[in-house]
Amino acid sequence: MRQEHLVSLNIHSNARSLPVVRGAVEQLASSEGFDATETHGLVLAIDEALANVIKHGYNGQSDQPITVTLSVVQSDTGRRGLAIEVRDQGRQVDPTSICGRDLDDVRPGGLGVHIIKAVMDEAAYSCPSEGGMCLRMVKFVGEHPSAK
Amino acid sequence: MGDRGRMGFTPVFSMLAIFFIGCAKPQHFRADIQSENAGDRILAIRKAGEAKDRKAVPLIVDRLDDEDDGVRFFAIIALERITGTRLGYDNSAPSSERNAAVERWREFVRRGGHLSKDESGVAVRGGAANGVEGGAAPH
């Protein structure tokens, strides 16, 4: 997969920063050819990802650093898409333990990971050796594979 | 005579009210374009772009070589929204390429290309998105 860096956004872990990231994602999604529904999905996914970092990674602290990196990617088969990497310096957890709760467990909240995986074509957590967590998400322009 | 006086007063009063309302709407976000906080700079630049605030263009041009990639990204989006051109600027290009584009933007501002025809006395020739030819017309 080829990747071309577009922009890195250094924000703080608070709701005030969210419009900045949303605005960048909307702008780039539109210029890369995502339709309105796909763009909405991308914004939803990044909202959920950042909400998880703030709530679980930083326990609600509002002044901690988060870096969101947006890149254009092209798959080996030529599909273009947008890669979003969310990097924090918060609490590390085993990536394999990160999964949404059972969907049959009906109560508010806790569906962020489900939403991210439903919207994006790829989503993977990792624990960088420098600390914190990294979430890399990719969405390609066009129909989501699970919709076929 | 009294009626004439009232008829004359109303339009004048309305014009003055519109004038003062216009003056009383300062673009508070302009100051934050130079804030020490990158997040505040981005938010202010976005507001200027949304308001198509031509008077903020020189301040935004100064942010095209901001140390923060995100600020540069939103600066060129706002400038394109306001003026209709990018003058070949790419926020993630190597600094040598960016510097050349920044210089084109500074020249654009020096020539008053960001001002409306009434303000600058020159015609703005916009609409050349991503191009380098969308500057102000020659004097």
- Domain holding B22, by residue range, is 2-120
Please indicate, yes or no, if residue B38 is contained in any of the structural domains. yes
Q: State the DSSP H helix or E strand holding residue B6, giving kind and residue range, or none if neither.
A: helix B2-23
Q: Look at residue B92 in the predicted model and tell me its pLDDT.
A: 84
pLDDT tens-digit map of A78-109: 999 999 999 999 999 888 877 666 656 655 55
Q: Look at residue B65 in the predicted model and tell me its pLDDT.
A: 93
Q: Nearest C-alpha of chain B: how many angstroms from A6?
A: 6
Report yes or no: A9 at the B interface, CB cutoff 8 Å: yes
| Interchain proximity A9–B70, CB inside 8 Å | yes
Q: Look at residue B10 in the predicted model and tell me its pLDDT.
A: 60
Residue of chain A whose Cα is closest to the Cα of B39: A11
| Residue A111 CB coordination number (10 Å) | 14
Please indicate, yes or no, if residue B136 is contained in any of the structural domains. no
| Interchain proximity B70–A23, CB inside 8 Å | no
**Model confidence at B123, in pLDDT bands (50, 70, 90)?**
very low
Please indicate, yes or no, if residue B129 is contained in any of the structural domains. no
Q: Look at residue B52 in the predicted model and tell me its pLDDT.
A: 94
Is pLDDT at B136 greater than 50 in this prediction?
no
Report yes or no: B93 at the A interface, CB cutoff 8 Å: no
Q: Look at residue B29 in the predicted model and tell me its pLDDT.
A: 84
Burial degree of A53 (CB within 10 A; 0-12, 13-18, 19+): buried
Choose among A48, A66, A51, A40: nearest CA to A15. A51
**Model confidence at B117, in pLDDT bands (50, 70, 90)?**
low
pLDDT tens-digit map of B4-60: 545 555 665 555 555 554 444 557 788 899 999 888 899 999 999 999 999 999 999
pLDDT tens-digit map of B61-80: 999 999 999 999 999 999 99
Q: Look at residue A105 in the predicted model and tell me its pLDDT.
A: 62
Q: Which residue would you say has higher pLDDT here, A7 or B27?
A: A7
Domains of chain A, earliest start first: 2-147 (3.30.565.10)
Choose among A114, A85, A109: nearest CA to A25. A85
Spatial distance between the Cα atoms of A56 and A104, rounded to a whole number of angstroms = 22
Q: Look at residue B28 in the predicted model and tell me its pLDDT.
A: 78
CATH assignment of the domain containing B96: 1.25.10.10
Residue of chain B whose Cα is closest to the Cα of A67: B70
| Interchain proximity B46–A23, CB inside 8 Å | yes
Please indicate, yes or no, if residue B97 is contained in any of the structural domains. yes
Query: Is residue B87 left, alpha or beta, with left meaning phi > 0 and alpha meaning psi from -120 to 50?
Result: left
Helix/strand/coil percent split, chain B, to 5: 60, 0, 35
Mean of pLDDT over chain A: 88
Burial degree of B86 (CB within 10 A; 0-12, 13-18, 19+): buried
Overall number of domains in chain B? 1
Contacts with A7 from chain B: Cβ below 8 Å: 69-70, 72-73, 91-92
| Interchain proximity A7–B38, CB inside 8 Å | no
Measured CA angle at B135 (ends B132, B136), to 5 deg: 170
Q: Look at residue B15 in the predicted model and tell me its pLDDT.
A: 56
Instruction: Give the relative orientation of helices A18-31 and B69-83 as an angle to the nearest 10 degrees.
Output: 60
| Interchain proximity B70–A7, CB inside 8 Å | yes
Report yes or no: A92 at the B interface, CB cutoff 8 Å: no
Please indicate, yes or no, if residue B137 is contained in any of the structural domains. no
